[in-house]
Structure 1
């Protein structure tokens, strides 16, 4: 009678079982705590571009001796500067601040027989245009483009000062707003006549 041995001899050609491996526990690194200092630093860094852009943004500056007219040059001209008695030609957009910037007139809407826009022509020092426009143009160079904010004291003082909108309804709306007796009596005169003009100096015909 044969007895089975507890030890079993390996069979030739058989693949041995894989060795047992120990489970390895990988310790996860803990994220660093976010402190108030980190938050403040991140906030300050995020606002740097905005602050730099704000500092670099152009701003209006008051024209010396203009009675409070403020100007912002959108494009510097390279030509001559007008003097008294010179005849100048300009293009402009005129807006009324009291009407949320309503555009009451523009020379680009005034067309000649060929369809080209007609510039507005006036003589420096003749006293026919509102003082704010003259003050703005006198310190410009030909080719320049300037935005000006004209206070009521340097704007329309009567309905005969130029430039006058050619359209009757625009003209009526402009002057009934600026010279509204009820609102003037309520002390709104310091704001009713504030004008915003974009002015482009086209040419100068010098006085001989």
Structure 2
């Protein structure tokens, strides 16, 4: 695993209606090891609500990257991170069905389309 001196990203407001499918945009392509569906990933990330533009979570604000088994994350991450390489930065626009489910699902972000900007720092 490597650490990163990269800075917290700014999220550009996405025009138009919220997408119904996962939208993957590489902001910067990495050249390190490639994440696969079975990987454990070390990431810095920022999460923003699509509609309001309000930030709801940020590893940068906590001052440290986080390591997760990809299989334990929301479907949008499980589908959106494989193929990404260490050193890359990717934006995922994740509809509710691939995030925390429909409105009323019990999670504070249920029913919300979410935007994540993810820096992949390491995989194993």
Partner of 1:151: 95
Judge conservation of contact 2:49–2:55 (CA < 8 Å) in 1: yes
What's the offset of the Cα at 1:202?
0.5
Query: 1:36-51 residue pairs with structure 2 within 5 A?
Result: none
Higher strand share: 2
Pair 1:124-2:70 in alignment = yes
Kept in 1, the 8 Å contact 2:44–2:59? The answer is yes
Q: Which has the larger radius of gyration?
A: 1
Q: Distance in 1 between matches of 2:80 and 2:45?
A: 12
Tell me what 1:101 maps to. Answer: 53
Q: What is the root-mean-square deviation in Å for CA atoms of aligned residues?
A: 1.9
Aligned counterparts of 1:85 and 1:146: Cα–Cα separation in 2: 19
Name stretches of at least 5 consecutive residues in structure 2 with no aligned partner. 1-19
Quick check: which one's helix share is greater?
Answer: 1
Paired residue for 1:85? 38
Higher relative contact order (CA closer than 8 Å, sequence separation 6+): 2
- Cα deviation, residue 108, structure 1: 0.4
Paired positions, count: 102
Paired with 1:196 and 1:69, the residues of 2 have a C-alpha distance of 10
Listed one character per residue, the Cα deviations across residues 62-83 of structure 1 (whole Å, up to 9, x for unaligned) are xxxxx82101111011011122
Give CA deviations for 1:127-149 in whole Å, capped at 9, x if unaligned. Answer: x2111112221121110001111
Cα distance, 1:159 vs. partner? 5.6
Change (3 A) 1:87 1:159: farther
The 8 Å contact of residues 70 and 77 in structure 2, kept in 1 or not, is answered as no
